[in-house]
Chain A
Amino acid sequence: MTNEDIEHLSAMLKARSGLILGSDKTYLIESRLAPVARKEGFSSVSALLTALRTKRDEKLMAMVTDAMTTNETFFFRDKVPFDQFKSDVLPALAKTRLNGEIKIWCAACSTGQEPYSLAMLMEESRAQFPRVNLDILATDISDRCLEKAQSGLYTQFEVQRGLPITMMVKNFEKVDEMWRISPKMRQSIRFKKLNLLDDLRGIGRMDVIYCRNVLIYFDLETKKKVLEQMAQLLPDDGYLFLGAAETVLGITDAFKPMPGMRGLYIKNQAVKTEAARRLA
């Protein structure tokens, strides 16, 4: 494939999905797009890329974007944020939320693997927390992603990334060559379209916010705005999960890192005081 083709693909992906294609991604492009090329009758991925650049075929652009971005999330991605939820966040909130309801917001849920992972994790912890009920709201800007998330249908490749086989057996059924998560799991999550750049007050109070690997695409000012709005939605003992490569440091003092917990943030004392003063 030519540099021109790759550059065009890069620009198209960034514009359509925010996905930044790093350098030297020939292998990634090849492995993700080979099935698309085959399906659409191109002799090679190179031929597909050339057609993509010269024909501007909307259907093809959408298919390629899908193929390149589908795997940007997976079940139990990074593992740590789910381990921390189980070991620290869930026990702490179970103690203080007397009605047993814990409200969670997956702020960029993509194709649904993050909220479903949390729902499955809760099922695994059921014996330990019989009274707890997770109220999970999952939002994304992409209709395509939400549609897929709601369908609960995943490819064989997707159910193998991060999902332990025992959990797959417990929660999925095979539908032709795809795997569908159980109706119980699908019904446990509210999916909704939302742009994080909009006013977030309508979301309402949340106990835990997962906002992972999305702020990296925003500029500093937007990051600050989103984080500060999120701080308003969380009570003083709420939690914010960011992606492994993300931080609040140098962006806002609304949050501070939780010591020893990579990626986990709690509200800053200064903000708490400010909020208390405003309420008084």
Chain B
Amino acid sequence: MKTCLVVDDSRVIRKVARRILENLQFEVIEANDGLEALNSCKEKMPSAILLDWNMPVMDGITFLRQLRKEEGGKQPVVVFCTTENDLAHITEALTEGASEYIMKPFDGEILEAKFSEVGLI
């Protein structure tokens, strides 16, 4: 079973994402911020990461930069999922190695389409 790490400081968003991802047959792990996510990845790299941008402690883009420096850190497919919806943010995310980008608000259909786009399902 593929694992997906959901990184978001909103418990509600994590819950919504978990429900959608579990329906898509993912095992879901959660992290509240970038640092928690990084620690989780150091322990075990997930197949996919659904990543918020603005979070306390460590934001999404900082996490992504750190992740890519870790051993095995290039493997997880990273999909941003954030309210940041301008081209500058999207381009920065893609440059740092994100594969897809979801602009909130999102629903199951969008998440499924984006995950399918990058070959996760």
* A133-164, CB < 8 A from B: 156-157, 160-162, 164
B36 contacts partner chain A, Cβ-Cβ < 8 Å: no
Query: A157-B110, A174-B85, A174-B86 are known contacts. Are A164 and B100 too (CB-CB below 8 A)?
Result: yes
Q: Separation in Å of the B106 CB from the closest CB of chain A?
A: 7
Q: Separation in Å of the B114 CB from the closest CB of chain A?
A: 7
A31 contacts partner chain B, Cβ-Cβ < 8 Å: yes
Q: Is B110 touching A161 in the complex (CB atoms < 8 A)?
A: yes
Closest residue of chain B to A31, judged by CB?
A: B107
Closest residue of chain B to A165, judged by CB?
A: B101
Specify which chain A residues have a CB less than 8 angstroms from the CB of B90 in the assembled complex.
Answer: 165, 168-169
Closest residue of chain B to A166, judged by CB?
A: B94
Give the A interface residue count (CB, 8 A): 13
Whole-angstrom CA separation of A54 from B113 in the bound complex: 38
Whole-angstrom CA separation of A169 from B92 in the bound complex: 11
- A to B contact number (C-beta, < 8 Å): 31
Give the B interface residue count (CB, 8 A): 17
B48 contacts partner chain A, Cβ-Cβ < 8 Å: no
B94: which of A160, A162, A165, A173 is its contact (CB, 8 Å)? A165
B87 contacts partner chain A, Cβ-Cβ < 8 Å: yes
Query: A160-B103, A160-B114 are known contacts. Are A169 and B87 too (CB-CB below 8 A)?
Result: yes
A173: which of B87, B91, B106 is its contact (CB, 8 Å)? B87
List A residues at the B interface (Cβ < 8 Å). Answer: 31, 156-157, 160-162, 164-166, 168-169, 173-174
User: Would you give 10 A-B contacts (Cβ < 8 Å), ordered by A?
Assistant: A156-B85, A160-B110, A161-B113, A162-B113, A164-B100, A165-B94, A166-B94, A169-B87, A169-B90, A174-B86
- Having A165-B90, A165-B94, A165-B101, one finds 16 other A-B pairs with CB under 8 Å, namely A156-B103, A157-B110, A160-B106, A160-B110, A160-B113, A160-B114, A161-B110, A164-B100, A164-B117, A165-B114, A166-B94, A169-B90, A169-B91, A169-B94, A173-B87, A174-B87
